[in-house]
């Protein structure tokens, strides 16, 4: 029951009580009939007002219920939309989480596979060689290196960098002392760490000596070689905790390098090769320029000879023109002589001229 209905029932109850009390009072008086008629009239009026009030209340309740229903329907619709959006967002997040779980599972498998590779000494060596090859291929042209190259002493090196003299070809050999490093990392106390660190130092020192003996060949390679450590952690541990080993490697001319340091070295090698190519190209250009200058000098000699020929030809032409003028002049003189003789014959007497001609 709503609040308006409860109010209406309360009003009706109050009116009924008032009517009952009024009728009880009028029963004891002589003028009860008139009062009763008046009371009935009031009661009828109150009944009509009550009906009208009920109608108004019913209309307001209907309007109120309509508005409440509309609001409730809109609220439910909005709530459904929000719920659907939340469900869609949760579904998308679940898809992302599912993909992330798949990636994590794949990564876990790869980590497990990597652990299996690193646990095998031969596979671990191949891992270092592959990493070395990838770094070299990314930094240098194909003509600048040779993998698994055989030296003159019969030893095979992981990578041989073809550099001009000096410094000459540089050998790079990959070593991965993972077992010694793991013993150092897994050590539980300081004495165990000291023992494991000495073991790591002994293993790396052996690698340094082997590289110095095998891959530094006088007259064939450079005076130094590179020991590639395919783990930055191992490289950092050696440089920070084993300074005597670093000094020993420098005395042996075997320089250790992690992946980052090796990349810097390879970029330096690339710059050296570029400068060497430019120097070689400059030598070729200088040779071609010298040859061209020789051709220019020969051309100058030939032009001088041609100019000399032209000068001689001009002199010959001038001489010819002089001879021509002399010949022309003499011809003119001869022509004048003949004309004069003809006039002299014409002027002579006929008899004399005939006698002279007969004599």
- Residue 287's pLDDT is 78
Answer whether residue 299 is part of any domain.
no
Domain count for the chain: 1
Q: Residue 250: pLDDT band by 50, 70, 90 thresholds?
A: very high
Q: Residue 355: pLDDT band by 50, 70, 90 thresholds?
A: very low
Answer whether residue 142 is part of any domain.
yes
Alpha-carbon 283 to chain mean position: 36
Answer whether residue 39 is part of any domain.
no
Answer whether residue 97 is part of any domain.
no
Answer whether residue 155 is part of any domain.
yes
Peptide bond into 167 cis (omega under 30): yes
Q: Residue 90: pLDDT band by 50, 70, 90 thresholds?
A: confident
* Cα dist from 265 to 63, 108, 225, 353, whole Å: 87, 33, 12, 125
Between 69 and 208, name the one with better pLDDT.
208
CA distance 4 to 18: 21
Which residue segment(s) compose the domain that 229 sits in? 121-277
Answer whether residue 93 is part of any domain.
no
Answer whether residue 115 is part of any domain.
no
- Residue 357's pLDDT is 38
Residue range 91-140, pLDDT digits in tens: 888 888 878 877 776 666 555 554 554 455 554 556 778 888 999 998 88
Q: Residue 353: pLDDT band by 50, 70, 90 thresholds?
A: very low
Can you tell me the mean pLDDT for 321-342? 73
Q: What is the pTM of this model?
A: 0.48
Can you tell me the mean pLDDT for 299-325? 81
Average pLDDT across the chain, whole number: 77
Query: In sequence order, what are the beta bridge partners of 257?
Result: 228
pLDDT above 90 for 52: no
Which CATH number does the domain housing residue 127 bear? 3.40.1350
pLDDT above 90 for 171: yes
- Residue 193's pLDDT is 86
- DSSP-assigned states of every residue in 125-150: HHHHHHHHHHHHHHHS-GGGEEEEEE
Tell me how many helices (H) and strands (E) the chain has.
9, 5
Nearest Cα to Cα of residue 223 among 300, 163, 159:
163
Can you tell me the mean pLDDT for 253-265? 91
Answer whether residue 199 is part of any domain.
yes
Q: Residue 147: pLDDT band by 50, 70, 90 thresholds?
A: very high
């Amino acid at each position: 029951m709503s609040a308006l209905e409860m109010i209406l029932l309360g009003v009706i109850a109050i009116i009924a009580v008032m009517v009952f009390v009024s009728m009880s009072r009028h029963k004891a008086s002589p003028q009860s009939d008139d009062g009763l008629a008046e009371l009935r009239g009031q009661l009828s009026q109150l009944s009509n007002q009550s009906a009208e009030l009920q109608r108004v209340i019913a209309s307001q309740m209907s309007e109120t219920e309509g508005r409440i229903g509309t609001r409730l329907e809109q609220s439910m619709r909005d709530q459904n939309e929000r719920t659907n959006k939340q469900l869609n967002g949760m579904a998308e997040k679940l898809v992302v989480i599912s993909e992330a779980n798949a990636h994590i599972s794949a990564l876990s498998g790869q980590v497990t596979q990597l652990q299996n590779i690193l646990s095998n000494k031969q596979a671990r060596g191949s891992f270092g060689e592959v990493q070395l090859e990838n770094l070299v291929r990314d930094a240098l042209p194909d003509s600048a290196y040779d993998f698994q190259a055989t030296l003159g002493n019969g030893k095979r090196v992981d990578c041989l960098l073809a550099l001009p003299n000096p410094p000459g070809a540089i050998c790079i050999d990959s070593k991965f002392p993972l077992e010694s490093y793991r013993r150092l990392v897994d050590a539980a106390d300081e004495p165990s760490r000291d023992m494991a660190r000495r073991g790591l130092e002994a293993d790396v020192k052996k690698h340094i000596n082997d590289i110095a003996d095998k891959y530094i060949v006088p007259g064939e390679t450079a005076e130094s070689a590179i020991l590639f450590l395919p783990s930055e952690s191992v490289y950092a541990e050696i440089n920070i905790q084993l300074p005597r080993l670093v000094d020993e490697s420098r005395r042996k001319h075997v320089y250790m390098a992690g992946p980052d340091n090796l990349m810097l070295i390879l970029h330096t090698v690339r710059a050296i090769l570029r400068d060497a190519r430019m120097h070689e190209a400059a030598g070729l250009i200088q040779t071609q320029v010298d040859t061209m200058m020789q051709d220019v000098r020969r051309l100058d000699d030939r032009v001088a000879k041609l100019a000399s020929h032209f000068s001689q030809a001009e002199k010959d032409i001038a001489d010819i023109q002089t001879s021509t003028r002399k010949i022309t002049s003499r011809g003119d003189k001869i022509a004048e002589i003949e004309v004069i003789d003809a006039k002299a014959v014409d002027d002579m007497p006929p008899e004399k001229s005939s006698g002279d001609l007969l004599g």
